[in-house]
Amino acid sequence: MTDSELLLRTLVSVLALGGVAVVVLRVAGVRQWWGPARALFRASVQLAALSLVLAGIIADPWWVAGALIVMFVAAVAVSARRAGVALVDFWRTAAAMGAGVSLAGMVVFSSEAVELTPRYALAVGAMVVGNAMTVATLAGRQFAQARLDRWSEVEAWLALGAGPRRAVRDVARIAVHDALIPAVDQTRTTGLVVLPGAFVGAIFGGLSPIEAGRFQLVVLAAILASGTITAVLTVRLTSRMAVRPSALR
């Protein structure tokens, strides 16, 4: 099969699967039913551009560092927007994600569990940043929704003289717990229900199944550590703002 034929088959498959998602949402009357199609289009453009760029920078540490910074900034913007964070408070999301990603990266590479090369730095960094983005989004949204749902309880604590952080402590704990559910479930079911991308990619890249499993385990641990720090700091950095949030869209 030629490259052009493979590309055509890929395009047909993606269009068909995207069409299924759009039609199902449209029939179900879900708002923004076109979301999957728009997301797939953006993913196609971004992956095509990324593939072309990475072919030239994968061995250059400075270019890889720049690529990771761009990924991180984009992740912060997406997470903050999804969580309804005001533009002036984007730094809170950036600080929470930055702390989690930095600590996880330092442990992984300083322990030499994974060799610090541009290729591995990009692979591990991208996966950790992506998962930190998801956790920050979930934590922010869950925290806002929990405050909204239990606002009478928060007001009662404030009326008793409690500070803002104490007033929202219980709902903050709920938000952190719920935000970590996807990462924890993925880790618990890895190898049983889920074959993670890092594991499959490592095997396709030529590593033995044992080495691929070791690499995946390190990545999962980094994702959990980064996600935990990100979730806790996301709610901690906003817990002083004991005001009733607006309904999330």
Q: pLDDT for 165-178, tens place per residue?
A: 777 778 888 888 88
Residue 138: what pLDDT? 93
Each residue of 24-74: pLDDT tens digit? 988 888 888 888 888 888 888 877 776 766 666 666 788 888 889 999 999
- Name the band, by pLDDT with cuts 50, 70 and 90, for residue 244: low
Interior/surface letters 59-95, b for 16+ CB within 10 angstroms, e for the rest: eeeebbeebbeebbeebbbebbebbbbeeeebebbbe
The answer, yes or no, to whether residue 203 has pLDDT greater than 60, is yes
Each residue of 114-141: pLDDT tens digit? 888 888 888 899 899 999 999 999 998 8
Rounded to whole angstroms, the Cα distance separating 211 from 192 reads: 18
Q: What is the mean pLDDT of residues 215-241?
A: 86
Residue 134: what pLDDT? 93
Residue 128: what pLDDT? 93
SS (H, E, C) the chain: CCHHHHHHHHHHHHHHHHHHHHHHHHHHCCCCCCHHHHHHHHHHHHHHHHHHHHHHHCCCHHHHHHHHHHHHHHHHHHHHHHCCCCHHHHHHHHHHHHHHHHHHHHHHHHCCCCCCCHHHHHHHHHHHHHHHHHHHHHHHHHHHHHHHHCHHHHHHHHHCCCCHHHHCHHHHHHHHHHHCHHHHHHHHHECCCECCHHHHHHHHCCCCHHHHHHHHHHHHHHHHHHHHHHHHHHHHCCCCCCCCCCCCC
Residue 1: what pLDDT? 67
The answer, yes or no, to whether residue 98 has pLDDT greater than 60, is yes
- Name the band, by pLDDT with cuts 50, 70 and 90, for residue 233: very high
Instruction: Look over the chain and give the mean of its residue pLDDT values, rounded to a whole number.
Output: 82
Q: What is the mean pLDDT of residues 10-20?
A: 86
Query: Please, are residues 216 and 196 in contact by the beta-carbon 8 Å criterion?
Result: yes
pTM above 0.75, yes or no: yes
Residue 100: what pLDDT? 94
% of the chain surpassing 90 pLDDT: 21
Residue 211: what pLDDT? 77
Evaluate the CA torsion angle 164, 167, 169, 171 in order and state its sign: negative
